[in-house]
Amino acid sequence: MIKPPLWTRDFIFAFAANFLMAFAFYLLIPTLPIYLTAHLHASKAMAGLVMSVYVIAALVMRPFSGFLIDHFPRKSLYLISYALFVAFSVAYLGVAVIAGFFVLRLLHGFVWGTITTSGNTLAIDLAPSERRGEAIGYYGMSMNIAMAFGPMVGILFSEHGPFVNVFIASIASGVLGLLLAFLIKAPRKAPQVSRAISLDRFLLIKGIPSGVALLFITVSYGMILAYASMYGKEQHIADTGFFFVALAVGIILARLFTGKLLDRGLCVHVGIVGGVVAAISLLVLGLVPFSFCYFTCAFFLGLGYGMSFPAVQTIIVNHGDHHQRGTANSTFFTAFDLGVGVGMLLGGQIAQHSQLSVAFLVVAASTLLGAILLGVIFQRERVSVHT
């Protein structure tokens, strides 16, 4: 039987728009902590707080964004949030104090919580149901490709010119992505029938246990995003921007072969293997801080994350009906953001009182615990992972 096409005109536009939005985001992730500590004389703990507040704000917004996505036109909500994302990117040019960055990152985080949820939900709407696992995996690759080049370009710009160039590049990427987002022709969806306000209109109840397992895995992801470059510099490793290239290559390779496995109903198995691979990589990264291990661990971390993230997202999305896709995605991203925010905040606190190598050992244990929880949840609930 011939499967319906996935890479349609609109799916390609959605993929490209998400890539450009993510590229704008990743330009700042590894560079902003360095800018805050070197130019604004912030402590590592304060830099960690400024970085984590973005994710914490997104976390607060997630349940509400899921509700909005399931009750209002998804493309309209996506475009509004995308425009606000670009507007806040422009606002970075006028901020010169720590307090200003804190407030702006908070506002930017609220928008991030909506744009990523609405973009993912729109992409799933554009994909055939029998290729949903592939769609989730491939669409996620747009962010992973951005991860490969965004941090590297951001670090190059910050090291070979004024930091304002990083902000300008972020703005330009966001504007181009917004233009492509306008070109997407979204499928019509039936309006959601009004019903009483309850928790399951904001979070998918059946998906919460899997979300908890994901949370423990993404704690390490948040720490890697914010502190991998700083850790490499502390160990006198050159060209730390290539860490994110290796990380993204691993994620992309994993997504290329896991999509079909997910559509065959192997979500839990793929998720557990991915978590274990990531945990082992973090352990080696913390214990053997040499250049070869630094970049090799980045690649295997990418393989682990590239397997576990789309696996858990597919599990959660398949728990919900069509009209609950926004809520399902918001549940996934709520857990994802909570873990990333905790990881960023925890990394700053540990670095302030100990060493980043210790932080990586701590999150290695957390990641392994997440993989174990995913297996326990599957055994207890016998989760159906078929479409």
Residue-wise pLDDT tens digits, 285-310? 989 878 889 999 999 999 999 999 98
Torsional class of 4: left (φ above 0), alpha (ψ -120 to 50), beta (otherwise): beta
- DSSP secondary structure of 58-122: HHHHHHHHHHHHHHS-HHHHHHHHHHHHHHHHHHGGG--SHHHHHHHHHHHHHHHHHHHHHHHHH
pLDDT digits (tens, 9 = 90+) for 174-195: 999 999 999 998 877 654 554 5
- CA-based end-to-end distance of the chain: 17
CA-closest candidate to residue 7, choices 137, 175, 116, 148: 137
What are the residue ranges in the chain where pLDDT is below 50? 191, 194, 196, 198-199, 383-387
Single-letter residue type at 285: L
Q: What is the pLDDT of residue 176?
A: 97
Q: Round to whole Å and give the CA distance between 145 and 147.
A: 5
Where helices occur in 183-266 by DSSP H, the ranges are 208-234, 241-263
Domains of the chain (ranges, CATH numbers): 9-186+201-381 (1.20.1250.20)
Q: Round to whole Å and give the CA distance between 261 and 255.
A: 10
Residue with tokens 């979204």: 186
* Pair 18, 112: CB distance under 8 Å: no
Q: Is the dihedral of CA 188, 267, 261, 332 positive or negative?
A: positive
pTM of the entire predicted model: 0.73
Angle at 305 between CA 89 and CA 231, to 5 degrees: 65
Give the Cβ contact number of residue 314 at 10 Å: 31
CA-closest candidate to residue 115, choices 32, 212, 20: 20
Q: What is the pLDDT of residue 17?
A: 96
